[in-house]
Amino acid sequence: MDPEAAIRDYLAALDAAAAPLDLERRAELVAEIREHIDLALGEAGRRDESTVRDVLERLGSPGEIVAAETGTMDAVGAEWSGRPGEVPRHALSVETRALLWLTVGAVVLPFVGPVIGLWTATASDRWTVTQKRTAVLIFAVLAVMPFVLLVPAAIAGEFMWIIGSGGFALPLVPLAGIVAAAYLVASSSLVLTVSRKT
């Protein structure tokens, strides 16, 4: 194998193995190992296949290096989670409040309840931005649907039909909040988080 390709593969494997680390440390670790390889090869004065193989073997496997790193990270994490003053400031977590607004709130206060719920959800650091956006989209589409359904009837001047059909289409509005809430729960490990906190 081409020695330069072997180095590239090793560093790529290290970078992949280091994915659990934070971005800054991950880049730093790969840079440190790259520099080590360069220094070791500079010292050897050769960059041939067997020298490169020897240097990489002495480094140990990428998994081994990252394991040495993550062992530390876990220890650091444990210290942090044990710190006093890091407890949630609210009796109910952000996620629980958001879900309550999206479900109970959607029935009690159609439109307003789910909007408050979605707004509350934006403060959550457990849901990703994509998950929050998708929930907003689900709510918006389902909440707007009754009105979209009514447009053709309104254009045709069928006002009696509007009143009649509105009766079955409008329950979609609270349903929108409930479906959005169900999506947020299903799309994350929140079921556990929320049930543990409340």
Where in 58-97 is the site for other proteins (CB under 8 A)? Answer: 58-62, 64-66, 68-69, 71-72, 76
Where in 151-180 is the site for other proteins (CB under 8 A)? Answer: none
Among 8, 25, 46, 133, which residue sits at the site for other proteins (rule: CB under 8 A)? Answer: 25
Min dist. Cβ of residue 37 to other proteins (A) = 10
Give the nearer residue to other proteins in terms of CB position, either 42 or 152.
42
132 within 8 A of 122, measured Cβ to Cβ: yes
Q: Is 70 left (phi over 0), alpha (psi -120 to 50) or beta?
A: alpha
Other Cβ atoms closer than 10 A to 36: 13
150 within 8 A of 166, measured Cβ to Cβ: yes
Q: Tell me, residue by residue from 103 to 132, as one string, x for binding to other proteins by CB under 8 A and - for no binding.
A: ------------------------------
Rounded Cα distance, 91 and 19, in Å:
34
Min dist. Cβ of residue 17 to other proteins (A) = 11
- Percent helix, strand, coil in the chain, to 5, is 80, 0, 20
Binding positions for other proteins, rule: CB under 8 A: 25, 28-29, 32-33, 35-36, 38-40, 42, 58-62, 64-66, 68-69, 71-72, 76
